[in-house]
C-alpha cells in the first residue's frame, strides 16, 4: 500500500500547474515517500537498489541480532546528479517476519459465521483486491456485483462490518499461517502479547443528541483458541441485541465466544441499563457518548454479560472510573465523536507476562494516534500516552487458556444499522 501511496503522492505533487520553484520541495517529499516505500517493501535479504517511476530506493540491512531483529536503512533518491537531486534516508528495526497485514494476508481472514437472521450472510464481508469465491449465503452474481462496487474503496483490501443491516451479528477471525509456527491455521501463540493497528470509518453520520441513529459498534477481540473454534461468534439466542456487539451472547452455536478473552469495544450506542444481562438495554454504558472500553468476559457462567461494564469478579469488565473506559462527548451540534464518516485509527497493545502463578496483562489503546511509530507494530509505542490503559492479573487457568489465541473483529446491530470499514490493518507479536 505504501508503494501505491508513494505513487499517488507523486501524482498529486506533479499535478499540472505545480510551480517549478517548488520542485526542490516536491523532490524532498518524493524522496521521503520512496524511502518509506522501501521500508515497507523490505523483507530479509531484499537489499540493493529498486527503481520506481518517481525515483529509486536503496535498501541495506544489518543483523539479525540476538532478538531476531534487523536494522534496515532505506534511502529514497530523486533526480540523482541534477540540481534538484533529493535524498531521504529512513532507518528501522525490523523483525525477520513482516507483520500480518491486509496487503499480504487479507485472504487469510476466515469468512464470517452466518448468524441466525436471514440477512446475516452480509454482516461481515471481506473485499480482497482479488475476487474470491462468493461467501456463504451469496450467489456468485450478487457477490461479483458487491465486490466490484466496493473493492476499490481502500487499497490493500478491507473488511466491511455491519453492511447496513439491522439485527446482524458476526465475527471474523484470522485463519492464516505466520512466522514458522507462531500462527497455524489462525491459532497463534500469544507469548509476551501483541500489537495491532488499523484504520476504521463509520459510514453513517450520527448527529443525534443521544447517539441513537446508528448502532451498535464493534470489537477487536483476542480469544482463547483452546476453547473457541474459528466459527465462534456471539449474539442473542432470540430478539434484537445489537448491544452484544457479536461478542456477548450465545450466538448461533449456543456457546458464543467462550472465555478467556480480551477485547476492545468501539461502542457507538448507549445501553445504560444495569438490569438483567439477558434483557434489552443492559450493558451499563456510562452515558450517551461514543466510547472505547476493555472487555473481558464478566461472570464465566453466562455469555450474556461479556460486554457489560462492571460485570465479573476476576477480572472485572472496566467501568468509566477505570483506565479501561474512554469516551468523548458529542461536540456542539456536530456528529457523535466517531460517527462522523471520517477515517479514524486504533492502536492496541497487549503486554503479557507470567505473574504469581497466573498472568499479568496490560491492555493499552490509542485512538487516532499521530506520534512517530504510531502504525509500526514491530515495536512498542511510546510517543503518546494511551487513552486506554488497563491491567489485570488472570488466574492460572485463564492465563494458560490464552497461550494460544485467535484474533479478529466482532460486530452487532439491532434496531439501527451500521456500515464500518476496517482497513490498513497490521499485527505483530511481542516476543
Residues that bind Ca ion (CB under 5 A): 267, 269, 271, 283, 285, 297-299, 302, 305-306
Smaller CB distance to Ca ion: residue 98 or 169?
169
- CB proximity list for 67: less than 8 A, separation 6 or greater: 431
81-90: Cβ within 8 A, 24+ apart? 84/23, 84/24, 84/27, 85/27, 86/24, 86/27, 86/28, 86/30, 86/31, 87/31, 88/28, 88/31, 88/32, 88/34, 88/35, 89/35, 90/32, 90/35, 90/36, 90/38, 90/39
3-state secondary structure of 133: coil
Smaller CB distance to Ca ion: residue 63 or 273?
273
Rounded to a whole number of angstroms, the minimum distance from the CB of residue 379 to Ca ion is 30
Rounded to a whole number of angstroms, the minimum distance from the CB of residue 417 to Ca ion is 15
Rounded to a whole number of angstroms, the minimum distance from the CB of residue 292 to Ca ion is 9
Smaller CB distance to Ca ion: residue 244 or 425?
244
Cell of 159: 473488511
Cell of 143: 457477490
CA distances from 176 to 89, 103, 188 (A): 33, 14, 9
Smaller CB distance to Ca ion: residue 37 or 224?
224
Rounded to a whole number of angstroms, the minimum distance from the CB of residue 390 to Ca ion is 14
Rounded to a whole number of angstroms, the minimum distance from the CB of residue 289 to Ca ion is 10
Report the C-alpha gap between 251 and 257 in whole angstroms: 8
- Identify whether the C-beta of residue 311 lies closer than 8 Å to the C-beta of residue 294: no
Helices (H), 69-198: 102-105, 140-150
Smaller CB distance to Ca ion: residue 79 or 268?
268
Smaller CB distance to Ca ion: residue 147 or 202?
202
Question: What does the chain come to in residues?
Answer: 431
Rounded to a whole number of angstroms, the minimum distance from the CB of residue 348 to Ca ion is 16
Rounded to a whole number of angstroms, the minimum distance from the CB of residue 142 to Ca ion is 31
Smaller CB distance to Ca ion: residue 33 or 361?
361
- Using alpha carbons only, what angle is made at residue 411 by residues 140 and 156, rounded to the nearest 5 degrees? 55
- Identify whether the C-beta of residue 259 lies closer than 8 Å to the C-beta of residue 250: no
Amino acid at each position: 500500500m505504501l508503494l501505491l501511496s508513494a505513487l499517488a503522492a507523486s501524482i498529486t505533487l506533479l499535478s499540472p500547474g505545480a510551480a517549478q520553484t517548488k520542485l526542490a520541495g516536491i523532490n524532498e517529499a518524493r524522496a521521503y515517500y520512496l524511502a518509506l516505500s522501501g521500508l515497507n517493501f523490505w523483507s530479509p535479504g531484499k537489499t540493493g537498489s529498486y527503481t520506481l517511476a518517481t525515483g529509486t530506493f536503496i535498501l541495506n540491512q544489518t543483523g539479525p541480532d540476538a532478538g531476531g531483529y534487523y536494522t534496515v536503512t532505506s534511502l529514497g533518491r530523486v533526480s540523482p546528479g541534477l540540481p534538484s537531486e533529493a535524498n531521504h534516508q529512513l532507518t528501522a528495526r525490523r523483525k525477520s517476519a513482516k507483520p500480518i497485514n491486509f496487503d499480504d494476508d487479507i485472504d487469510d481472514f476466515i469468512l464470517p459465521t452466518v448468524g441466525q437472521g436471514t440477512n446475516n450472510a452480509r454482516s461481515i464481508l471481506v473485499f480482497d483486491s482479488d475476487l474470491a469465491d462468493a461467501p456463504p449465503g451469496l450467489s456468485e452474481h450478487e457477490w461479483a456485483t458487491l465486490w466490484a462496487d466496493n473493492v476499490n474503496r481502500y487499497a490493500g483490501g478491507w473488511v466491511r462490518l455491519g453492511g447496513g443491516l439491522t439485527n446482524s451479528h458476526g465475527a471474523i477471525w484470522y485463519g492464516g499461517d505466520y512466522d514458522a509456527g507462531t500462527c497455524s491455521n489462525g491459532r497463534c501463540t500469544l507469548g509476551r502479547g501483541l500489537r495491532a493497528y488499523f484504520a476504521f470509518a463509520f459510514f453513517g453520520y450520527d448527529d443525534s443528541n443521544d447517539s441513537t441513529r446508528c448502532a451498535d459498534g464493534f470489537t477487536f477481540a483476542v480469544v482463547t483458541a483452546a476453547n473457541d473454534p474459528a466459527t465462534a461468534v456471539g449474539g442473542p439466542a432470540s430478539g434484537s441485541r445489537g448491544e452484544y456487539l457479536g461478542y456477548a451472547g450465545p450466538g448461533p452455536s449456543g456457546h458464543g465466544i467462550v472465555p478467556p478473552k480480551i477485547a476492545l469495544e468501539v461502542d457507538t450506542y448507549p445501553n445504560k441499563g444495569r438490569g438483567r444481562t439477558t434483557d434489552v438495554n443492559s450493558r451499563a454504558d456510562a452515558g450517551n457518548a461514543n466510547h472505547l472500553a476493555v472487555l473481558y468476559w464478566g461472570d464465566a457462567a453466562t455469555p450474556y454479560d461479556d460486554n457489560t461494564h462492571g460485570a465479573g469478579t476476576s477480572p472485572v469488565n472496566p467501568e468509566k472510573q477505570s483506565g479501561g473506559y474512554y469516551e468523548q462527548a458529542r461536540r456542539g451540534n456536530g456528529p457523535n465523536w466517531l460517527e462522523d464518516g471520517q477515517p479514524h485509527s486504533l492502536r492496541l497493545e497487549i503486554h503479557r507476562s507470567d505473574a504469581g502463578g497466573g498472568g499479568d496483562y496490560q491492555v493499552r489503546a490509542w485512538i487516532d494516534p499521530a506520534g512517530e511509530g504510531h502504525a509500526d507494530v514491530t515495536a512498542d509505542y511510546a510517543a503518546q500516552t494511551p487513552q486506554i490503559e488497563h491491567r489485570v492479573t488472570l488466574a492460572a487457568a485463564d492465563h494458560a487458556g490464552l497461550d494460544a489465541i485467535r484474533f479478529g473483529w466482532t460486530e452487532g446491530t439491532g434496531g439501527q444499522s451500521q456500515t464500518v470499514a476496517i482497513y490498513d490493518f497490521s499485527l505483530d507479536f511481542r516476543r
